[in-house]
Amino acid sequence: MKPNLTLNRLKSEAKTFAALESLYKESSIFGVTDGKAVGTYFEHKFRNYLREKYKYSEGSSAKGIDFPGLEVDMKVTSIKQPQSSCPFKSARQKIYGLGYSLLVFVYDKTDDASTSTGTLNILHVIFVNKEQTADYQTTTGINKIIENNGNKDDILAFLYERMIPVEEIEAFKIANEIFKNPPETGYLTISNALQWRLQYGRIIDQAGAVQGVVRLR
């Protein structure tokens, strides 16, 4: 009987798998420059690795994240431009977080023409608690306003200045909620788009130095 995959086991296995993968020469990714294709290769391989050892609830497009039972989504990105996209659900995600944690693998890909193989050197494995998955400038800006005795009008003006994608009525609701429940500091950079664009430069720099952003490798 396989044991259940727990959050601690996921973190431990992510670290182990990253070390193994960094040494592996793979012919199917030789010459591949499409980051999405490389990410898909890595994600499938990691899930297969876990599936052989553990029982866990697998994600799907309907569930939206890779490990719904653990409330964790996996992201794989190149060090050359460490970013990815995720579904837009609500403007509140930029203020209060995505609603799930992130397991982020950052790689540097090299090709070996003599063997026609590619290798993903996993430079960073970072776990971001769901409470810290909001936008850094938005959350720190809001909390500075509150600390400076700001009022609801100040918060509304800030939300509009930051171009938070929200209707006027919802903006009023969020402003009222912010005073009752100020957001925790997020460490992502989240750009507005049809899908959120998540950028990971800050978590790479801050991993292990701030609460909720854990460096596994």
Strand duo 72-78 + 83-86: pairing: unpaired
Q: Would you state the structure tokens that stand for residue 99, as one six-digit string?
A: 């609603």
105-164 confidence digits (pLDDT tens): 999 999 999 999 989 999 999 999 999 999 999 999 999 999 999 898 999 999 988 888
Q: What percent of the chain has pLDDT over 70?
A: 98
* pLDDT the model gives residue 85: 87
* pLDDT the model gives residue 155: 92
Q: Model confidence at 192, in pLDDT bands (50, 70, 90)?
A: confident
* pLDDT the model gives residue 183: 95
Please say if the pLDDT value at position 62 is more than 60. Answer: no
* pLDDT the model gives residue 60: 62
* pLDDT the model gives residue 86: 87
3-state secondary structure of 128: strand
CATH class of 7-80+100-130+206-215: alpha beta
Q: What are phi and psi of 190, to 5 degrees?
A: -115, 115
DSSP string, 140-181: HHHHHHHHTT--HHHHHHHHHHTT----HHHHHHHHHHHHHS
Please say if the pLDDT value at position 193 is more than 90. Answer: no
* pLDDT the model gives residue 26: 85
Structural domain spans, the chain: 7-80+100-130+206-215, 136-180
Please say if the pLDDT value at position 63 is more than 70. Answer: no
Please say if the pLDDT value at position 194 is more than 70. Answer: no
76-86 confidence digits (pLDDT tens): 999 999 999 88
150-173 confidence digits (pLDDT tens): 898 999 999 988 888 888 898 899
* pLDDT the model gives residue 143: 95
